[in-house]
Each structure stands twice: as C-alpha cells, then as structure tokens.
Structure 1
Amino acid sequence: MSQAPSHLNQPLGGNAMPRFAGLASMMRLPVTTSARGLDAAFIGVPLDIGTSNRSGTRFGPRQIRAESCLLRPYNMATGAAPFDALQVADLGDVPINTYSLPKSVDIITAFYDEVLGHGCVPLTLGGDHTIALPILRAVAKRHGPVALIHVDAHADINDDMFGEKIAHGTPFRRAVEEGLLAGDKVWQIGLRGTGYAADDFDWPRQQGFTVVPAHEVWYQSLTPLMAQVRERIGPEHPVYISFDIDGLDPSYAAGTGTPEIGGLSVPQGLEIVRGCRGLNVVGCDLVEVSPPYDTSGNTALLAANLLYEMLCVLPGVPYR
C-alpha cells in the first residue's frame, strides 16, 4: 500500500501512541482553530438546551471524540482512503451560549459561515438536532437550497414545542419556511413510533419529501433505496446529510434522549451513508448522542464510525 502524501494530516496511529492516551481529538487528528487550507473538518456543537426529554447531548462531542481513538485511516469495506487526498483536522467546539438557545443558534451559524467561507466541508458532532437549522442556514448561503438525506426516528417538523419555534423537534419545518431545502430532493429515512395524529408524517410529504418509515424497510438492504436517492438527487446538486442516532434501533444506540423501538439496524445505517458516494455532499452531522445514557460507550463509538463513513463519501476521496 502506498504512503499518504506527507503534507496531509493523518490520524495518530496506535503504534505511535497507545489508543487510550494522547489528545482526544476526532480520530486523533491535529486540532486547529481555522478552516483555512482544510478540505474537511470535524466540529463539535455541545448543545442540549433544545432537547425535549433526556438531556446530555452537550457531552456528545467529547465522548464521540474519545471513542474515535479506535478508528484507523483506511476503510477496509469500501476501499475509501480519505486521508490520501483530503486535508482534515478537528476544529474543536463551537462556543455556544449554554443559557440561551436563540443566541446559540446565531453563534453556530456565524461559526459555520467562517468554515464554509474557506471551502471546507463541515462534519458535525452533536449536540441535539436543533443544530441542523443554524448549520443549514450557513450551508444554504453558500450553496443555495440543498438536498437532504435525513435519518431519524422523528420527522422534526413540529411547528412549535411549548410555544417555541426553535427546538430539536422543529429544525426542518423552519428550514422549509426559510427556503433552505430543495423539497423534492429530501429523504427522511427511519421514521417511526407513536404520534399525536394519523397524519403526523403527512406534512413532509406535502412539501415533496420522500418519507421512508422504518417498518417499511425492516429486514431489507437499503442499497436499492440509496440507488433511487442518487438518481433523484443527481451528482451535482449539493447534499446535506443529517443523521440522528435515534434513527437506529435503541438495541444498537441506547445512549440518546428520545429512543424509539423498531428502528434501523447498524448495517442499514452504513448502507445509507455509503450509498451517498457519488453525491455532492457539502456537509454532514451526527446528532443526539447522550453519553449519560451510554454506559458502555457503544453509542458514541457507533457515532464516531458513522462520521468517519461520512468523511469517506465526500467528493474527492479516492478508493483503492
């Protein structure tokens, strides 16, 4: 196997420093304060003041980084070698205001405006799903209305929660209202659970979204579905991936705030992300990991792997 170019950052290897030691950055990559010169960057958004049930996602970025120490640079399943071509680093955490959700939303957008201004693709460690709205605001400023691949147990299109327009159950309603999404290129995969009315998932369909409830794909490979997604979106349109860890069944990912039984499997989650190869992915997030409910660390480990898989499908990544 050939050596990666020497000028590109590489994850710190387990033979250079024990995996349980060293700086706990994402994949043990260098930490920097500017996106200048980066092709992609991991960014933490330690927010949980938008949650409606169990809190704790403010600790998500730190725990995901800790568990990511087990990851290595090459994807043995797909052949992706992201560190052979992309300059990647960890940009640390967005300095949110832990006492104000509205102020935090503005802080997040401003942070991502700067990152995107350098042509850097952000890969976000959440944080609760509120963060998708301010990130999409920044992404749409640069790329226009984006296609969306949204994995979740919940549609997150509530009009309000306790009278509030911004919370972790409202981001995609606001995104539609603000013209941030290309409605006919939005896919919501894994929706399920109980609701307040029989038509709870009809609003996204009315916006042109394709809704794929979890029970419709139980025991199935999602590779054919992702072929449909790629055909519908096309290779040029900018795409954002938003992956709520509760889209997966709680038997795999118990460390989250609003778990729902009957979810997607880990292989299905991998098929979704790997199926994004060939799309013009301009940003990604992995949200709703709550370490206080993740006693084994397995949920954070799963999140770290999914974020790595997202890195592997970015444009420009070579495959061996």
Structure 2
Amino acid sequence: MKCLRAKSSRANYKKKHFKNKSLQGKQTMSKPVNALASPRFCGIRTFMRLPYQTDLQDIDFAVLGIPFDTATTYKPGCRFGPAGIRAASTILKSYEEVLDVDIFEECSGVDYGDIDIIPGHLDESFERIEEGMSALLKNDIIPVVMGGDHSITLPQLRSIVKKHGPVALIHFDAHSDTGSDYFGKPYNHGTTFHWAIKEGLIKPEESTQTGIRGPLYGRDSLKFVRESGMQVITGWELHEIGINEAIKRIKERISPGTPVFMSFDIDFLDAAYAPGTGTPEIGGFTTHEALKLVLNCCQGQELVGMDLVEVLPESDNAEITSFAAAGIMHAFLSCVAANKRAKR
C-alpha cells in the first residue's frame, strides 16, 4: 500500500524535476526518481531509477542492456547481468564526491532498455547489437552498456567506429581476450580484441589492457596483443607499480581528441570482490582500486562509450558483484558529467 500511496507524489516529483532546464538553457534533463519521494524498493527496475525511455531527444547518455551469453566458454548466466545490475543500482545517488560533480546537474540520461538478441545465434545477435547501437550514436548519445559476455564489445565497436573512427581502448580485465579462435571458431568472449585489432576498430598504440593475470594457455598467449602495439599492464605488474603509476601510463598514451571507449570486465576485481562472474580469477583488485582507475583514467577523455560485462547474478553472494558493477558504471557516468562541465 505504501508503494501505491507514493504514486501521486512520484508523479508530482517527475512533473517538477524531469523537465528542469540545463545550464545551457535549452536541454531538458531526464533524472532519476527522488528516493525521498518514492522509496528505492518501489517501481520498475531501471538503472539508477532513470526513466525508461526510447525518445532520444536531448539525451547525453543512455544505459542499456545486452543480455547475451552464448559466447561464454565456462559458466553461463551473465545474460541476467543487466537485471542484476539494475536492481543493485537503485542504491546509487547522483553526486560523486571525488570529482565534485552531480551527474544530473550536468547530464540528461535514460535507461534505454535492452537490445533483443537471438539466444544461441552469435552472428545474428552481433548484427542486432551493431544496429541497436547505431540509433544512439547517430544522436550523439554515449552508450553505457551492461552485458552479457565480453563478445558483445566487438559489435559495439563496429558500430562506434562508423560514427567516431577507431578508438583508444581502456580495458580492465583479468583476461586479454585476444585469442584468434576457439575450437576453430573465430568469435567468443575470449577473442574479442583479437578481431577488434584485426578489423582496425581500435588504436593499439593508444590503448591499454590492465589487470591481465591468471594461468594462460602458453607463454605466447600475450604475444599477439603486445606485437600489435597495445600496452599490457599485467595483474602482477599493477600490484608492483601501483594504481597511480598505472593511471599515468594509461593516460599518457592517449592523444588529445582521440575517441575513447572503456571496457570493464568485472573479473578485473579479485574473486573475493566479484564472485558473481563466469571466469573468476584470484590475485585481483579491490573495488576501491577499480573506482580510482576509472575516475582518473576517464576524466578529461573524449568518451564515446563504455561497457561492463560478465556479471553472473546466480553466483553472486549477497549481490556484491552487482553492487560493484553498478558503482563502477556510476564512476564512468561521473566522468561523463565532469567532462561536459569542463567543456562548458
């Protein structure tokens, strides 16, 4: 009954706040529901309780799900990642202290829903992902994607390059995902960046993979990515040099004005912080370290997109992986807002 009684106050809040004019004077802002008007456990689950909206007018960013896990090689179930992240994200608030920015004072954002993939059919799903992203990109909207397995990054990049050209990749992961094939087939969640490099979708000389660790198939497993010109900061190395040095190395490679795409595989985090994933790895990193990397590496960049992949709610003890994923996405959105403020 409390949820029903909150309906009118929530409607009044939306009427009052969702149409506030931006500092530029023209853009109308889409903002989350106020938790002081409607409790966080009420309403339909959207990311940060943003309005579910497919109208793309006056939007800076759109959060969307790609619930595809057909390309998983170990433990499936991350097709339910977007739902888990959305549920956890209701706890988030709009202000980010480190950057001193309120996301929705600077940006208008919506939850765009999910792209309807075809379960079990990789090539056809890739086509749907590429096409689904194009509507956002044509309207100069930054897509912020919840996966799904890591194979979904490849069709995203194919769509992004049509709009922005090749991108600098900021990639946080336990795995390089640069194998050429798997059982003789080219595409799965472990071959994504091999084909992204081969297709000219990313600029290896301006890109970095960070956190790579765990047992490999052989001593040459990272040979291709290193010879491509990509910087690889392994997990062991990151522990040795520290977060601040890694931030410096990542940022100094990116030329001013280069479009930047961030891909964050949740298994970058240590298995203790992210048990809810299909290929967990020990020896990883804390959520604090992840937030520090994202907030510093993405601030000041020409951000054109982001994805967070491989969240598997079925294995997620106490939802800690979904909460971590939502918080990392919030850090990225805070950078989008801070960058827009700086340009203004």
TM-score range, shorter chain: over 0.9
Provide the aligned C-alpha RMSD in A: 1.6
Equivalences for residues 97-246 of structure 1 within 5 A? 97-218=118-239, 221-246=242-267
Residue in structure 1 matching 2:332, options 298, 310, 316? 310
Q: Could you tell me how far apart the structure 1 residues matched to 2:176 and 2:340 are?
A: 31
Whole-angstrom distance in 1 between the partners of 2:33 and 2:112: 16
Asked if 2 retains the 8 angstrom alpha-carbon contact of 1:105 and 1:131, the reply is yes
Secondary structure at the counterpart of residue 60 of structure 1: helix
Listed as ranges, the gaps of 5+ residues in structure 2 are 1-16, 22-27
For structure 1, which runs of at least 5 residues remain unmatched after alignment? none
What is the deviation of 1:76? Answer: 2.1
Kept in 1, the 8 Å contact 2:206–2:255? The answer is no
Q: For residues 106 and 268 of structure 1, what CA distance do their matches in structure 2 show? A: 35
Pairwise CA distance, 1:93? 0.2
Distance 2:279 2:169 in 1: 22
Corresponding position: 1:253 with 2:274 = yes
Who is 2:68 aligned against? 47
Which residue identity is paired with 1:67?
A
Aligned residues: 317
Q: What amino acid sits opposite 2:65 in the alignment?
A: G
Deviates more, 1:12-21 or 1:47-56: 12-21
Displacement of 1:203 in angstroms is 1.3
SS at match of 1:304: helix
- Alignment of 1:269 onto 2:285: no
Distance 1:111 1:97 in 2: 13
Could you tell me which amino acid in structure 1 is paired with residue 311 of structure 2? V
Comparing 159-168 and 23-32, the one that deviates more: 159-168
For residue 281 of structure 1, the aligned residue among 303, 312, 336 is 303
1:312 maps to amino acid: S
Go from structure 1 to structure 2 and tell me whether the alpha carbon gap of 1:88 and 1:152 turns closer, same or farther (over 3 Å shift): same
User: Larger deviation: 225-234 or 47-56?
Assistant: 225-234
- Choose the corresponding residue for 1:295, options 317, 322, 325: 317
Post-superposition CA distance 1:119-167 (Å, at most 9, x none): 0000001110000000000111111110000100100011111222111
8 Å contact 2:33–2:49 — kept in the other structure? yes
| Inter-partner Cα distance in structure 1 for 2:342 and 2:230 | 31
SS at match of 1:21: coil
Check whether the contact 1:80–1:318 (CA below 8 A) recurs between aligned residues.
no
| Separation of aligned partners in 1, 2:59 and 2:307 | 18
- Does the 8 Å contact 2:210/2:238 carry over to 1? no
Deviation at 1:77, TM superposition (A): 2.9
CA contact (8 A) 2:207 2:231 kept: yes
- Local SS of the residue matching 2:64: strand
Question: What's the secondary structure of 2:325's corresponding residue?
Answer: helix
Q: Pick the structure with more helix per residue.
A: 2
Shift of 1:220: 5.7
Alpha-carbon distance in structure 1 between the residues aligned to 2:260 and 2:281: 26
> 1:99 deviation in Å?
2.8
State the shift of 1:318 in Å. 6.0
Query: TM-score scaled by structure 2?
Result: 0.89
Correspondence 1:85 to 2:109: no
Matched, 1:59 2:80: yes
Is 282-291 or 267-276 further displaced after alignment? 267-276
SS at match of 2:70: coil
TM superposition score normalised by structure 1: 0.95
Deviation per CA, 1:80-137: give whole Å up to 9, x if none: 2221121100000001011311100000000011110010000001110000000000
SS where residue 184 of structure 1 aligns?
Answer: helix
Amino acid at match of 1:302: A
Offset of residue 317 of structure 1: 4.2
TM-superposed CA distance for 1:10, in Å, is 1.7
> Residue by residue, what CA displacement relative to the aligned partner does 1:36-68 show, whole Å, maximum 9, x if unpaired?
321111010001111000111000001100000
Q: CA deviation at 1:196?
A: 1.4
Structure 1 residue 202 displacement after superposition: 1.9
The structure with the larger Rg is 2
